[in-house]
Amino acid sequence: MTQTILVLSEEALTGPDLRNLQTLRGEDELVEIVVLIPEDANESVLGEFFRHLSLLEVGEAFRTFSADDRRHDEATAREALETSLQLLLDEGFTARGRTTSENPVDAMIQEAKASGAAQAVVITRPHAVADTFHTDWASKAQAKLGIAVLHLYSGSGFIGDS
C-alpha cells in the first residue's frame, strides 16, 4: 500500500529538504509526496513588514504592500512547484502537487482528507514572530489535521517548534 506524505512549502524544495523527506519514506515503503505551494507565501503581510523593518530593510518593508506582487507570486509558486516535483521525481519519489491561492492551512487540510495522507510536513524559512507565538502554518495544521505534522526549516535539518 502506498503511504501519502503531504508537504506544504513556501518555496521550491532543496537537496536538504529531499534528504529530510527520504528519512520519512523508510526503507521498503511506497510513498507518494503531495506538494502544496501557496501562491501568496506572505501569510501575514504585517508580519513580513515588521520582519523587514527589524532587519533595517525599510524599502522592502513597504514593498510588502505592493499590488504587483500578486502576479509575481503566482508565477513564482508555479516555478517552485515544477522545481520541487522534478527534484522529487529525480530522487525516485512518486510525486504530484499544485499551487493554491487559498489559505495554505485550509488547502493542506482539504488535500490531507482527499489523499488520505498519513503524515504532513511544513517546510518554511524561520519566522520569528509566528514560530514564537505558534501561529505558524505547522502549529495551525497540527491543531486541525489530526495527523502528525513536522515543521522543518527550508534547506536545513532544523526542526521548527510547532
Query: Does residue 34 surpass a pLDDT of 60?
Result: yes
Could you tell me the domains of the chain?
2-153 (3.40.50.620)
For 99-131, the DSSP string reads: EESS-HHHHHHHHHHHHT-SEEEEEE---HHHH
pLDDT of residue 151: 85
Q: What percent of the chain has pLDDT over 90?
A: 35
The pLDDT tens digits for 38-49 are: 997 555 555 666
- Residues 108-118: tens digit of each pLDDT: 999 999 999 98
The most confident of 8-22, 50-64, 129-143, by mean pLDDT? 8-22
Question: What mean pLDDT is reported for the chain?
Answer: 80
